[in-house]
Every structure is written in C-alpha cells, then in structure tokens.
Amino acid sequence: MTREEIIEGFEAAGWRIGGGAEEEGMLVGYADDLSILADESQIGAEDPAFELYDGQHGVTYWVRVIPTPRVARVLLDAHGGPPGEERGNPHG
C-alpha cells in the first residue's frame, strides 16, 4: 500500500490523521486514547501490518486490515499485550 492509500484507509475507517509522526517516517491515526500506526517499513508493502496502541493501558496488537476504532478496542482488549510481547507482531 502506498502512503496515500494508508492515509485514505485510516480516514475511511474513522481514524483522525495527525500528530507530526509523519516527519519520523510513521503514519498515525487517532481516536480518543487509541492509535493505529504504520511505520516506514510497512509503507509500500504488499501486505502491510498496522500496530494498534491503547495509550491508557499501554498495550499493542498488530493487524493486517485497518479496523475501525471500535473494532480496534475489542481487539486490544482481547489480544493486546505489552509492546514487544503482543501476539501478531511482524517484527518479533
């Protein structure tokens, strides 16, 4: 997916784009205390992985499809874990 396709996917699913993380090579979508992230290694990938992050509870979970914030909450509650220990991490 291209950078533009990821941004469009985040917005279509109900995430707000922003936060200045783009300058660091990362795309971030926000919804309350939740975030969805695509780092530089995922931009341009045929099958990118996106990291869901719950800032209030400090848990993450990786997905291959961009969920709505509501679905992200359910996934994080059911499967999320501390960064580096969560299931589905494509980097670990």
User: Considering the domain boundaries, does residue 85 fall inside one?
Assistant: no
Is 88 within a domain?
Answer: no
> What range does the domain containing 48 cover?
3-79
Q: What is the pLDDT of residue 43?
A: 86
Within a domain: 34: yes
DSSP assignments along 19-76, one per residue: SSGGGGTEEEEEETTEEEEEETTTTT-SS--EEEEETTTTEEEEESS---HHHHHHHH
- In angstroms, the CA 77 to CA 55 distance is 12
**Predicted local distance difference test score (pLDDT) of residue 18:** 78
pLDDT at 40: 86
pLDDT digits (tens, 9 = 90+) for 50-78: 999 999 999 999 999 999 999 999 999 99
For residue 92, is it within any domain? no
Total domain count, the chain = 1
Tell me whether residue 54 is in a domain.
Answer: yes
